[in-house]
Structure 1
Amino acid sequence: MPRTTLARGGVLLAAAALLTLPVPAQAHVSPEPAVRQPLAPLVGLSARRVELADQVAAAKWFTGKPVDDPARERKLLADVARRSPALGLDPARTTAVFRDQIEANKLVQRALHARWRAHPAERPRRAPDLGAEVRPALDRITTGLLDELRRTWAVRTDGGCAGRLRAAVAHERGPDALHRTGTERALRSVCES
């Protein structure tokens, strides 16, 4: 079996295992001021993008389209690389961040498809319209993420980025373990230090 198939299978098993875990009660954490959480808006946008994976997964479920969409992925990555210099961002770094966003989204989609195959009663009841409903929201998030990458450049390139990112992620409460894992996956390349 090819290594990529094994790796993909491992991701699916891990994601499927997350779906069966009970969702623990969140400990109350008092929010820190925005000044101390400069990465919070970036984390929030990434979390919203991961949550939209549910609608993308549902649309693909009904159409039978695969989770992977290399043409759309290439288009998004080319777009953010093209827009980066005008924002003072390195196109290669920006592309890395958005590649992580895409992989996080696909992780959630694959896990949901696996769940729906195993539990037919949980399948979506309707197919969202990707063109009219989902893609415009994803486009707005893309613009927001680019703006946040520009705004947080100094924070993302200093030695304290990883700690600030962990703190911001801890304050972002996703709906469940799968989406929290997806959000963490989406942010792997945010820190440049």
Structure 2
Amino acid sequence: MLHSPRLPKLLTCALIGLLTGGAHASTPSPAPDSLQPLLVTLNERLNIGDLVALTKWDSGKPIQDSAREAQVIANARKMAVERKLDPQEVAELIAAQIEANKLVQYGLLAQWHAAGKAPETPRPDLAKQIRPQLDELQNRLLQQYAEFAPFRNDPNCQDWLGKVRASLIKDGLHGQALIRATGELCTNAQ
């Protein structure tokens, strides 16, 4: 084999080209446009949990309301069929929203009990104001979920979710709740 002074330089250039090309190829694709609005809606739903917690504080009613939860999930299943979505997947998504919302409520009530008082915040009526808001949000959430659903199996789904979710977190309690609320969005196991 002939030794050429240019050979090490060519090999170095080729190696750099391979490494650069490999790094570029592994760059994840950008999140679909449908993810941000979906997570904003989920986050909005969680923030309404603060108001629900205030009504529970004032009324002394328990956070757990199994009959209401079953009604909300049954309604979501019907809406899923109308929208040609998988009713079981939608039921799991809505159940995750309910659990996340209860996480916020339990956390806030614990904080308020420790402080001996709840914030002096105006309290909307649970049945007349908050529940209609939650119903409207559920309608919007299912529309946005339908738009995002084709991306649930994408290998980048968890990365997209982590980045968008991080931009919405306002505190530890709501951050944990948002993680729970989005736990059913990506179906690829990682």
* TM-score when normalising by structure 2: 0.77
CA distance in 2, matches of 1:124, 1:139: 26
After superposition, residues 108-147 of structure 1 pair within 5 angstroms as 108-124=104-120, 126-147=122-143
Helix, strand or coil for the counterpart of 1:158? coil
2:21 paired residue number: none
Structure 1 residue 98 corresponds to structure 2 residue 133? no
1:121 CA drift (Å): 4.1
Q: Does 1:181 align with 2:176?
A: yes
Structural mapping, 1:13-162, within 5 Å: 36-124=32-120, 126-162=122-158
* Aligned-pair identity (%): 33
Q: Which moved more, 1:68-77 or 1:175-184?
A: 175-184
Task: For residue 124 of structure 2, give the secondary structure of its aligned residue in structure 1.
Answer: coil
After superposition, what is the alpha-carbon deviation per residue over 1:15-70, rounded to whole angstroms, capped at 9, x for unaligned?
A: xxxxxxxxxxxxxxxxxxx9755311111111001101111011111111100000
Task: Determine the structure 2 residue equivalent to 1:27.
Answer: none
Contact 1:37-1:164 at 8 Å conserved across structures:
no
Q: Mind listing any 5+ residue stretches in structure 2 that lack a counterpart?
A: 1-29
Are the counterparts in 2 of residues 59 and 130 from structure 1 also a CA contact under 8 Å? Answer: yes
| RMSD of equivalent CA atoms | 1.8
TM-score (norm: length of structure 1): 0.76
Shift of 1:170: 1.9
Q: Is the 8 A contact 1:37 1:167 kept in 2?
A: no
- Whether the 8 Å CA contact 1:54–1:108 is kept in 2: the answer is yes
Q: Report the residue type matching 2:50 in the other structure.
A: D
Shift of 1:175: 2.8
Distance across 1 between alignment mates of 2:107 and 2:31: 35
Question: 5+ unaligned residues in a row in structure 1: which ranges?
Answer: 1-33
Contact map agreement 1:52 1:134 (CA 8 A) in 2: yes
Displaced runs of 4 or more, over 6 A: none
Mapped to 2, the partners of 1:185 and 1:136 lie a distance apart of: 23
Number of the residue aligned with 1:19 = none
Contact 2:96–2:182 (CA under 8 A) maintained in structure 1? yes
Task: Give, in angstroms, the shift of residue 125 of structure 1.
Answer: 5.2
| Distance change (3 Å), C-alpha of 1:65 and 1:192 | same
